[in-house]
Amino acid sequence: MPITLDDVLALGEAWCDTLRNGGTVAERERFFVHHPARIYVQETGASMTLEEHHAYHTQFARQVLRLGDFVVAPLSDAPERARAIGSLYWEAHVADDRTPPLRCIVGEDWIVERTPEGLKFVLWLNTMHHFLPDSGVERLDLASN
């Protein structure tokens, strides 16, 4: 059965729930086929482990994440893989609420694979971070790894 848009959106929502609800690194690791998992940030050249990704996101008191439009293209049948390209709205609030929240659209480019445990990420690439005019920051503050 081909990987569908609904499959990809369900995977993305489940991942976002771990950020919204303070999930652990171990919870997030289960979303990936290969270990240790990494997230690649194209515009900065950074490559983040899930530990680094977790540490970055824990600095925020609250996060709003909404998946945007995605397109899904089948890549192979054995293993069953697809490429999903889309966007994510990300809003991150700091604890003191005196600083305007970070607000941006994140470009997502994922290779996903259907495994016996369910759909998982093979490759996660953030293609861009477009900060909105009312964002508290104007660029992603990540060091290249």
Q: Would 142 be classed as within a structural domain?
A: no
Residue 89: which CATH number?
3.10.450.50
- The predicted structure's pLDDT at residue 144: 42
Q: How far apart are CA 81 and CA 3, in angstroms?
A: 7
Q: Would 53 be classed as within a structural domain?
A: yes
Q: Which of 74, 82, 55 is nearest to 142 (CA)?
A: 55
Number of domains comprising the chain: 1
- CB within 8 A of 141, min separation 6: which ones? none
Cα–Cα distances (Å) from 41 to 3, 5, 8, in that order, read 25, 23, 20
- The predicted structure's pLDDT at residue 123: 97
Query: pTM to 2 decimals?
Result: 0.91
Which structural domain, as residue segments, surrounds residue 73? Answer: 5-131
Q: Would 115 be classed as within a structural domain?
A: yes
- The predicted structure's pLDDT at residue 99: 80
- The predicted structure's pLDDT at residue 98: 74
Q: Would 138 be classed as within a structural domain?
A: no
Q: Would 141 be classed as within a structural domain?
A: no
Q: Would 81 be classed as within a structural domain?
A: yes
Q: Would 140 be classed as within a structural domain?
A: no
pLDDT in tens, the chain (145 residues): 899 999 999 999 999 999 998 889 999 999 999 999 999 999 888 899 999 999 989 888 889 999 999 999 999 999 999 999 999 999 999 887 778 899 999 999 999 999 999 999 999 999 999 999 988 876 666 544 4
Q: Would 144 be classed as within a structural domain?
A: no
- The predicted structure's pLDDT at residue 145: 44
